[in-house]
Structure formats: structure tokens, C-alpha cells
Amino acid sequence: MSKQSLLLGAVLISVSLVGCAKDDTSDARANMTERQKDSLIARSPIPGAKAVNKAMITADSATARQNRIDSAQNNP
């Protein structure tokens, strides 16, 4: 076998291995909670990102308010 054939074989194997490599970024996003994904969107420069942030703040406020009401009703 010539050096050129060996080099070509090595390059093909390397490209194949890189193509089959695991993509860590997609796995990281797959394991994120919905809130974490929304937080990423809220901090991005895409149109409507501010609305996502505002919705998250509003939801947090409503949850906190409901928790205060529940604790006041359970502790007379």
C-alpha cells in the first residue's frame, strides 16, 4: 500500500468518527427544564424575548402570591 492510500484511509476514518461523535450541546438542551429553556429565550436578542421574560416574571409573582394566600389560610 502506498503512503497516499494510507493517508486517504486515515482521513476517511477520522471524518467518519467525527461525524458519529456525540453532540453535547443538543444533549444539554434536552436535559433542560422548560423554565431553563424559557430563560435562555428571554435573554436572547430574538424578537419577542422580552415578552417571554415578562411572562416568567408575572408567573413567578402569581405563584408567590398564591403561596402567601395558602400559607395565611393554613396558619390562622
pLDDT of 22-76, one tens digit each? 655 556 777 889 999 999 999 999 998 999 999 999 999 999 999 999 998 887 6
Record the cell numbers describing residue 57, joined without a space: 416574571
Check residue 5 and give its pLDDT.
Answer: 81
Residues 6+ apart with CB under 8 A from 76: none
Enter the pTM of the model: 0.54
- DSSP-derived secondary structure for 17-44: HHHHS--HHHHHHHTS-HHHHHHHHHTS
Domain parsing of the chain, residue ranges: 3-74
Check residue 30 and give its pLDDT.
Answer: 78
Cβ-in-10-Å burial (0-12, 13-18, 19+) of 16 comes to exposed
Q: 2-15 pLDDT, tens per residue?
A: 888 877 778 778 87
**CB 52 within 8 Å of CB 41:** yes
Does position 17 have pLDDT exceeding 80, yes or no? no
